Amino acid sequence: MSDPASSLSAMELDRLAELAEKLRANALADAEVAELESLLAESAAARTAFAELAMLTAELRHTHGRHTFPVPTETRPGRLVTFFCQRWLPLAAAACLALAALGVWRYGPARSTAHGGPIATITNASGAVLLADDRATDASVGATLRGGALHLRSGLLELTYPSGVVLVLESPARFDLRSATTLWLAAGNVSARVPGPAVEFTIETPSASIVDLGTEFGVSVGATGSEVHVFKGEVLIKNKNEPDSLRLTENRASRIDTQTRTPTGIDYQPERFLRTLDEPGSSYRDLIRQYDPIAYYRMRITPEATLLLDVTRSQLNGRIVLGSSQHAFATGRIGAGLRLGGPAPRSYAYVPDFPKAPAAALTVCAWVRAESRPRWASIAKNWAKDVGSNRGGQFHFGLFHDEGSLEVHVHDEAGREVWVQDREPLPLGEWQFVAFTLDGSTLRLYRNGREIDSTPCRGLTQTAPAALALGVKLDASGTGPETNTPGFWDGTLDEVAIFHRTLSPAQLLALYDTAR
């Protein structure tokens, strides 16, 4: 009998055994799922060896109890696999069938290459890296996509169908354009906007089929199930194990477990989905522009995913540092917002050369949403310890130490540090309008249009670093996060505006009311 693993090296077989054991233990990371899927799709020898390893593990477990199957590097893999192939060949065939069934359950029918005519067109994108058969494919605006398995490894993608259906996919996502009316979503987030019920657009997942009834909705597929959140209209959720389809209406959500296929009501969370890559106009935007900011960061999504765009004539653009994130955008207070994940992904934004405010006129305002309160979490900061004087920076706007209450520190014209602070922690999971002003004599702090603290402050220092930081505190060089207390923001920042003038309490209240 020929060796079924003859085309696999010892290293490849070792890795295959490692991935098989992790799959058995339900411990595969997303990247390892992709690696295993690719290996099995491309190599018949790998599929055979994988089935034999699975059957060996089952036999050992049956005979000796729980037992894993590491492949020792000192053993020649070919001989080992040949032995088990001779012993377990009939069982291996059954295991291959089971493996194929697993692939259908998790990924849908295998489609290793694109096929058929164009199904959808890419109408918008931001930093998109799209793979077809694990090879990079065109993700530029105007490109057309055919049916077949696709992997959005990073960035954002908007697809438009001839019927008018618009999908927004967020990385990482695995999907298949089955037809003009069907999308298979194996993993990731997608939001769908369907022009009318006549289209009957369907999103299929490992746990359910979501049939549109003329609506706008979001679907999220994870390791254990799918979630459906209906923004507008109504959808029908079908699955094989439940005879009664679930009609899910506007502002409702459901989770469907992959194992049981049972729908479970959950809280409606539309903020988890990006519904458009365009930044809409708004009365809030118009009012901000009337007040003439020196910089205004709407968090507009751009094709270049790392561009922090200033929409004023100053064009004080900055850079978004993604860290370990695939993209840095989420639903904002108005349009999109800058989503930052705290200390783990180390994502933030900065403007390397930002003009200092004059001695007695400064306002900073923003909409913020905190998911947690990291130590000294930063909203916007022009702050660093100057090597010579140990003083430097015009403002330090964020959360106080570990208490998590809103605060702002400034250096006055004499270099003394002055601060004001809220008396309670910033609420989590809620959008808050935050602002501070300095008018030459008083420093004031606002939350949701209401003044919450003030203190005398004479002027403003002109000793300051060049960079403006959002979601982090930079080091003295302005080239990276401070080592000891970087203060990464965990949540979303939106509509950050900076004025070299003092907005009145009435103007700040008008901004808050307009956005509401």
What CATH number has the domain bearing residue 175? 2.60.120.1440
> What is the extent of the structural domain holding 99?
10-107
CA torsion sign for 94, 100, 103, 104 is negative
In a domain, 356, yes or no: yes
Concatenate the DSSP letters of all residues of 161-213 into one string. -TTS-EEEEEEEEEEEEEETTEEEEEEEEEEEE-S-GGG--EEE-SS-EEEES
pLDDT reported for residue 12: 65
478 and 348 in a common domain: yes
For residues 496-511, give the mean pLDDT: 98
pLDDT tens digits along 105-119: 344 433 445 667 899
Lowest-confidence segment of 84-88, 217-221, 252-256, 468-472 by average pLDDT: 84-88
235 and 183 in a common domain: yes
84 and 123 in a common domain: no
In a domain, 278, yes or no: no
262 and 188 in a common domain: yes
In a domain, 347, yes or no: yes
Contact between residue 395 and residue 383 where contact means Cβ atoms under 8 Å apart: yes
Residue 303 has pLDDT above 60, yes or no: yes
In a domain, 277, yes or no: no
pLDDT reported for residue 516: 83
Helix (H) or strand (E) holding 141: none
**Phi/psi zone of residue 214: left (φ > 0), alpha (ψ -120 to 50 degrees), beta?**
left
User: With pLDDT > 70 as the criterion, what percentage of the chain qualifies?
Assistant: 79
322 and 247 in a common domain: no
Lowest-confidence segment of 51-55, 250-254, 355-359, 397-401 by average pLDDT: 51-55
Last residue of one domain, picked from the residues 107, 133, 148: 107
Number of independent structural domains in the chain: 3
225 and 182 in a common domain: yes
In a domain, 235, yes or no: yes
Last residue of one domain, picked from the residues 272, 307, 339: 272
313 and 254 in a common domain: no
Mean pLDDT of the chain: 84
pTM of the model: 0.77
Candidates 292, 426, 275, 404; CA nearest to 337 is 275
> C-alpha angle with apex 486: 482 to 492, nearest 5 degrees?
140
Q: Scanning the structure block, which residue is given the tokens 């899910």?
A: 248
| Pairing status of strand 431-438 against strand 442-447 | antiparallel
pLDDT tens digits along 39-80: 676 566 777 777 666 655 544 444 444 334 343 333 333 333
In a domain, 3, yes or no: no
User: With pLDDT > 90 as the criterion, what percentage of the chain qualifies?
Assistant: 67
pLDDT reported for residue 50: 75
